[in-house]
Structure 1
Amino acid sequence: MKRETKNQRADIVNSVLSYIYLYIDTDLNVAELAHMNALSPHHLHRIFKEETGRNLFETIKSIRLQKAASLLLTNKYATISQIARMCGYSSQTSFIKAFKERFDTTPKVWKNGAYLLYSKKNIESSKSASASNRDFAGTIPKIVKTSPIRAAYIRHSGYDISIKNSWNRLYAWSLENGISENARQIGFHHDNPTITPLSECAYIAAIEIDKDIQPHGTVAYFEIPSSLCAVFSISGKYGDVLRFMQYVYQIWLPGSGFEAKTLPPYAIYRKNHFLNDTGEFDLEFYLPISVL
């Protein structure tokens, strides 16, 4: 396959996934996604499957359910019906059926505590997180309204040490394109890794860029929207991040007086554990929120 064709296909997949994550609360129409990229639905399905190894319909369904599973435990005053709508389900019945197929329990039972055992097993599947004894209890964020950030990025499937590969590629791209050494490095967590199988987590390695830079292909670009965020300043070693997220999603957020938005949280690294040999990080974690 020619590089130009490969880049065009990567642009299509990036465009589709960005749209899905941004509008996951709507009735996503595959015909509309195809039209936006000047393709037939059949052609879009084929390109998406060949480039990602995943079915487009199943990808949309998986993203909806992972968002719902996280919101059910963070947005404790929202009803099952409200959570279903936030994740693009027009029917509560179809949402409950799909959720039970995915998590082997109903949204109500999950919300009332079933997520704790699921989360425990998920974190124990990570050797580094299992080895971490960090306790983030009492960590309090500052509340800020963020400004938009334009960033170049590479998508990565899975949350494990292999993320280093994507960061190394992005860093090499930034050197080739004269990106400032002081440009902010940003890690996006589209999924809550405390309740999403780590092999299925969608992660994005991103770096801030000027508006005159127009990347495409496997390195794409987007604008991180302005949002009200809870910002946590933390440091530690690889493995501590999952413990921190467990605290944020399961302890701090449910009792905070805030609710999570469907926008993904992200980390701005002062020290990036994926780009150093020590495995140490120093970062600010931005969690998009709304007031109850």
Structure 2
Amino acid sequence: MLNAPLPMQRAMPNPHLAEYTRRMNRVLDHIDRHLDAPLDLATLASVANFSPFHFHRVFQAWLGETLGDYLRRRRLEIAASTLSTHPDEPVLNVALAVGFGSGEAFARAFKTRFGITPSDWRKQTPARWQAQLDAVRARQRDNRNPDQSDRNFDQAGTGTQEQDRASYTEMENAMNVTIQTLPPTRVAYLRHIGPYGPAIGQFWRGKFSPWVASHGLGANTTYGIGHDDPSVTSPEKCRYDAAVEVAADFVATGEVGIAELPGGRYAIAAFRGDVHTIGDAWMTLTRDWLPSSGYQFDNRPCFERYSGAPGDDRRREDFECDICIPVRPL
């Protein structure tokens, strides 16, 4: 049982699936909120309302890794993202914020995980983001021109880079970024664990939207919340929440969780496009808009905000949303 393929949910009877899912999601949310604190087995077992004696077995069966391995991975992945998005934050502060007792211990663990030092990781951020953006744009060109999939990105004489730059400028202008202060928002969510991309759309259409409609919440604002950086976290371990705004007296049942999107200052960009260009929009804002804006990332989740649940037409891939990035002044 302990070596069953991830995610373990698929092997469990449906009557128990929802309860296990809700409890384990609650543990993962608790871990993210307390990475700077000791996270012992007994405390996390209490959060899940499982026996401490059995909790480590349940956790490993559910996520495919031990509790200790998960905590180490999650701390290092959050640290890697923080080093990239907070270029002026001292490395020691980053280490302490994710639960390491010293800079030396953090540096050793980080190099073991990523193969380079924290400082070198930070220095390589611009090149890494450029490579990610190039990959996104290459996939877009392949989708538009399937017969030209073998063409190199920097092939001379194609005009591709110039077209991409013009496309970026057009996208940046169209998104019209504004700085707004949002209130805290109570949401109910369903969680997807696995690669981002087309699977997320299938998750919304096949599971989340029907649940929203069945509870009469179709007119409420919905949100897409990615908890992991796919350039750091393995695709099969990435977590994504599809969420809908709910009233204070709404009671979640089954695998549905309740969370609060924190309020505060956000950079908000209006996006209109499809599943192939949303990644480009995120990268454009992170790589090109943010560094020249006078703002930096704040330690709150990024999310996409939608006006109501998506429609039922499963053939459509185009949509509109607000991309919301938590920010604070430099």
| TM-score interval for Structure 1 and Structure 2 normalised by the shorter chain | 0.7 to 0.9
What SS is found at the alignment partner of 2:124?
helix
**TM alignment of 1:12-31, pairs within 5 A:** 12-31=23-42
1:49-97 per-residue CA deviation (whole Å, 9 max, x = no partner) reads 2233333222222222222222212211111112222323222112212
After superposition, the Cα gap between the structure-2 partners of 1:137 and 1:7, relative to the gap in structure 1 and judged at 3 Å, is closer
Moved more, 264-273 or 170-179: 264-273
User: Partner residue of 1:151?
Assistant: 187
Could you list the per-position Cα deviations for residues 215-255 of structure 1 after superposition, in whole angstroms to 9, with x for gaps in the alignment? Answer: 23322221212222111212112121222222222333334
Determine what percentage of the aligned residue pairs are the same residue. 26
In the other structure, the counterpart of 1:103 is 114
Asked if 1:205 is matched to 2:205, the reply is no
> Which of 301, 308, 319 is 1:264 aligned to?
301
**Alpha carbon RMSD of aligned pairs, Å?**
2.9
Q: Which runs of 5+ in 2 are unaligned?
A: 1-11, 144-163
* 8 Å contact kept, 1:151–1:223: yes
Change (3 A) 1:233 1:114: closer
Which moved further from structure 2: 229-238 or 26-35?
26-35
Higher relative CO (Cα under 8 Å, sequence separation at least 6) belongs to 1
Paired residues of 1:186 and 1:269 also in contact (CA < 8 A): yes
Q: TM-score, with normalisation over the residues of structure 1?
A: 0.86
Q: Which amino acid aligns with 2:101?
A: S
Q: Can you list the C-alpha shifts for 1:140-171, whole angstroms capped at 9, x where unaligned? A: 52222211222221111221211233212111
Alignment of 1:99-248 (within 5 A): 99-113=110-124, 116-117=127-128, 120=131, 124=135, 128-129=139-140, 131=142, 133=164, 134-135=167-168, 136-137=171-172, 141-157=177-193, 158-167=195-204, 168-179=206-217, 181-248=218-285
Tell me, which stretches of 5 or more residues in structure 1 are unaligned? none
Residues 35, 98 of structure 2: 8 Å contact kept: yes
Alignment of 1:24-63 (within 5 A): 24-63=35-74
Q: How many residues align?
A: 291
Change (3 A) 1:44 1:217: farther
Instruction: Go from structure 1 to structure 2 and tell me whether the alpha carbon gap of 1:27 and 1:256 turns closer, same or farther (over 3 Å shift).
Output: farther
1:11 aligns with 2:2: no
Q: Confirm or deny: 8 A CA contact 1:74 1:250 kept in the other structure.
A: no
Q: CA deviation at 1:32?
A: 1.3
Which letter maps to 1:218?
Answer: E
Shift of 1:283: 1.0
Q: Deviation per CA, 1:84-136: give whole Å up to 9, x if none.
A: 22323222112212221222211111111256247626973897456475524
Amino acid at match of 1:289: V
Structure 1 residue 286 corresponds to structure 2 residue 324: yes
Aligned AA (2:294): G
- Going from structure 1 to structure 2, the CA distance change for 1:273 and 1:137 (only over 3 Å counts) comes to farther
State how far apart, in whole Å, the 2-side matches of 1:2 and 1:113 are.
46
